[in-house]
Structure formats: C-alpha cells, structure tokens
Amino acid sequence: MSTSLSFTQAAFLQSAPTLNACPTDSGSEVAFAGRSNAGKSSAINALTRQGKLARISKTPGRTQLINLFSLTEDKRLVDLPGYGYAKVPKAMKARWDQNLAEYLQGRQSLKGLILLMDIRHPLREYDWQMLAWSAECGMPVHVLLTKADKLKKGPAKSTLLQVRKILHEEGLDELTSVQMFSALKRSGIEELESVLCQWLAGPSN
C-alpha cells in the first residue's frame, strides 16, 4: 500500500501522567483506547512492526500513563491507559474519566479514536461510554475487534456483522467503522493503516 506515512518509523516520544502533561495541542494524532486486556500494546507493536515499542504488561490495567509515539514531526499515535481492570480509588477513576472525556472532546489535534475490543467480548459498558463521548463531539471511531485468531472464521465474521448491525441500530455507523484484527496472525494491519493514513493526512492544527 502506497502511503506517505511509514508506521515502521514510529518512535517513543514521551509518557505523560496526565493529559495536561501531553505535548502541545498541535499537529495530528490518533488515540488508541480499550479495556486493559483488549490488546492495545500488541496492536501498536504489530502496526509498527516493532515488537517492544509499546510495553505489554503481564498485569492488565497496571500502566496508567499516556504513552505517545511520533510518526513524523507533527503526527503522533497516543496509547491511552487501559480501562476495566485497574484497581484505583473511585475518586481517581472519576477524575480520569472526566479528563478523558475532555481530551476526546477538546483536543484539537485528535483526528480519530481507535477503539479496541476483544472479539469474544465486544461492546461492554465502558466501550459504549467511549462511543458516546466520541459521538458527542463528532469524533470518528474505528473499532478493532482484536484477537480474531481466537475464533474460527465463521463465528468471527458473525461477530463483525453483529457489531456493525448494533452500531447501525444505535445510529453510530456514520462516524464508526469496524474491522477484525489479529496481532498474532498479523491480519488486518493494512486496513488499520488505511484508516490511520486517511485521518492523519488531513490538515494539521
């Protein structure tokens, strides 16, 4: 696939403990979000063809830092902390939820959200919250149904169609696309690249 973006050139930029500590809100970036066990780090490593670019924790939910990776001088990938497993106080979780909502709705350089879901457990409660926040501000979302290798082709395809059907019924299909993905089998990478290139190719802020 011909593209002006080379994801293999991705490099670690910085880790930020809060959204306020992220780089200046300029250029273009795409954020990756999902439950702690959805395979975010594995997907980023498969996309960039770098086995250790994004660290994979053996304990889901342990990493609470925002990790940023540069593609070019003004284009970035953002790995948001996983949700669903982290054992943190309710007040801290509420504060993070508020920060995350503000980031999705107010970050001018954010061009889209890659929302990862284990294909065996799609559309959980927090996934819907992410979709709702994104819909409120007209943010495009591309859903990665990860770990597609865990299901046979028939059930995997059925889940893909079912997720698309539900999003259509909820009126979310205009800004939301869905694909199957397997970091282990390296399947779905080109489709993901195509979406990222489309989003990041637009005018930078």
Pair 9, 116: CB distance under 8 Å = no
pLDDT at 114: 98
Across the beta sheet with 176-180, the strand order is: 11-16, 66-72, 75-79, 28-34, 110-118, 141-146, 176-180
CA 74/CA 87 separation, integer angstroms: 34
CA 110/CA 77 separation, integer angstroms: 10
pLDDT at 84: 67
Domains by residue range for the chain, with CATH: 7-200 (3.40.50.300)
Question: Looking at this protein, which amino acid is placed at residue 27?
Answer: G
Pair 67, 11: CB distance under 8 Å = no
Ranges of residues in the chain with a pLDDT under 50 are: 1-3
pLDDT at 203: 63
| Closest residue by Cα to residue 77 from 98, 50, 48, 100 | 48
pLDDT at 86: 57
pLDDT at 2: 40
